[in-house]
Amino acid sequence: MTITEKILAAHSGKPEAVPGELINARVDLILANDITAPIAIEEFKKIGAKDVFDRERVVFVPDHFAPQKDIKAAEQCRMLKEFSREHRLSLYFEVGRMGVEHALLPEQGLVVPGDLVIGADSHTCTYGALGAFATGVGSTDVAAAMATGECWFKVPESMKFIYYGTRNKWVGGKDLILHTIGDIGVDGALYRAMEFDGEAIRNLPMYGRLTMCNMAIEAGGKSGIVVPDAVTEAYARGRAKRPYTSYGSDPDARYVEIREYDCATIPLTVSCPHLPSNTKPAAELADVAIDQVVVGSCTNGRLEDLREAAAVIRGKKVNPNVRMIVIPATQQIYRDAMKEGLLEIFIDAEAVVSTPTCGPCLGGYMGILAKGEKALATTNRNFIGRMGHPGSEVYLSNPAVAAASAVLGRIAVPEEVCEE
């Protein structure tokens, strides 16, 4: 079996799990946010549930429109707070303690290897970087799982992606996954588990793996996953809130498709409007002027991401025609970035630094685009109207490319602004 099939089998009490099979499985963690939790709460009440199955296993994170941007957002966030208080949920993260959910949960050790995690948010697949099966579901499935501790699944086929060779300078997990999505398309892994493997993945730090698994959904994947190794163990050790079991894929496991990539041939990559699969080398887009740069989100808002952006923009200024918004993904990341002097670097460059929030990624607030404006963002989606007006455009890149572009006022590669 593949690692995905092993995890699903273990959680459904079966000796094996076969692709296409419908199973009922116990879940280790359930997640919802200020957009999706209110729907789940209403459905939870409709089915007559009296209490959650385990108050230590339900996580509510108000992060999309929090700190509350308007009255509607405030009412939705209030629902999370009141439900959490009523059911004594231990994992409710109020503003000041919260972060962007998919950065917060791994950081806090709430997701561990071998877990089965569901979340009412499509980027729940991020946690596969830890060797967990994690996937987004609907709010009604979350409601049922909150009551029963179980959820149904169709066991996905697995698709293996093998990356070998050495990455070029500044090329990271974002470039690898954008290149992959550009290769297979936004439905190239439809309802499949995307298993990332190869020497380049084993040499990829955890933050890069989290970025790759985060965007599995952008290829239509049911999940993204990396078999646990020394990098996983180093990340989980001292962080994990509970014991865990790591799984691996058998040598004779069956994959519906296997693709291989030589990282030496993968350039700094940008997704052009209006699909993540519309990729081009960043160096070929120098004629694209931009109005806004966003560094942050559940894709690239971790401390290492901020370090990369800061390394490029240190001692320089944001182009006068551009506004640059930097959003540390959690309070801890914000604190660490402050201690390291990263926030000072951004502010000296005349960028603005925000408290943790999803904000502009989904066109919520903190960076809405006007008609005709173009943004380069380290986020995960660039659909029509994703970050504001339907007549605006969003390009996706890694943090280093974003920072270089903020300096030059157009899409640029770090070498254009860095002496190193």
Decide if 224 contacts 122 (C-beta within 8 A): no
Decide if 288 contacts 395 (C-beta within 8 A): yes
Digit-by-digit pLDDT tens for the chain (420 residues) are: 999 999 999 999 999 999 999 999 999 999 999 999 999 999 999 999 999 999 999 999 999 999 999 999 999 999 999 999 999 999 999 999 999 999 999 999 999 999 999 999 999 999 999 999 999 999 999 999 999 999 999 999 999 999 999 999 999 999 999 999 999 999 999 999 999 999 999 999 999 999 999 999 999 999 999 999 999 999 999 899 999 999 999 999 999 999 999 999 999 999 999 999 999 999 999 999 999 999 999 999 999 999 999 999 999 999 999 999 999 999 999 999 999 999 999 999 999 999 999 999 999 999 999 999 999 999 999 999 999 999 999 999 999 999 999 999 999 999 999 875
Sheet bearing 133-136, strands edge to edge: 91-92, 58-61, 29-33, 116-119, 133-136
Both 247 and 298 in one domain: the answer is: no
Structure confidence at residue 91 (pLDDT): 97
Both 256 and 289 in one domain: the answer is: no
Structure confidence at residue 418 (pLDDT): 87
- Judged by DSSP in three states, 258 sits in strand
Strand partners, 258: 160
Both 309 and 226 in one domain: the answer is: no
Structure confidence at residue 420 (pLDDT): 59
Both 272 and 201 in one domain: the answer is: no
Both 221 and 358 in one domain: the answer is: no
- What is the number of structural domains in the chain? 2
Last residue of a domain, one of 261, 295, 326: 261
Both 40 and 105 in one domain: the answer is: yes
Strand partners, 195: 160, 225
Q: In this structure, what token pair is assigned to residue 318?
A: 């944001």
Both 257 and 275 in one domain: the answer is: no
Both 20 and 108 in one domain: the answer is: yes
Last residue of a domain, one of 240, 261, 282: 261
Q: What is the CATH number of the domain that holds 54?
A: 3.30.499.10
Both 50 and 181 in one domain: the answer is: yes
Both 250 and 272 in one domain: the answer is: no
Distances (CA, A) of 360 to 45, 58, 75, 110, 365: 32, 26, 20, 26, 5
Would you tell me the crossing angle of helices 206-214 and 173-184 to the nearest 10 degrees? Answer: 30
Both 237 and 306 in one domain: the answer is: no
What distance in Å separates the CA atoms of residue 131 and residue 145, rounded to the nearest whole number? Answer: 22
Both 171 and 242 in one domain: the answer is: yes
Question: Backbone phi, then psi, for 116, in 5-degree steps?
Answer: -120, 115
Last residue of a domain, one of 242, 261, 280: 261
Range of the domain at 158: 3-261
3-state helix, strand, coil in the chain (%, to 5): 35, 20, 45
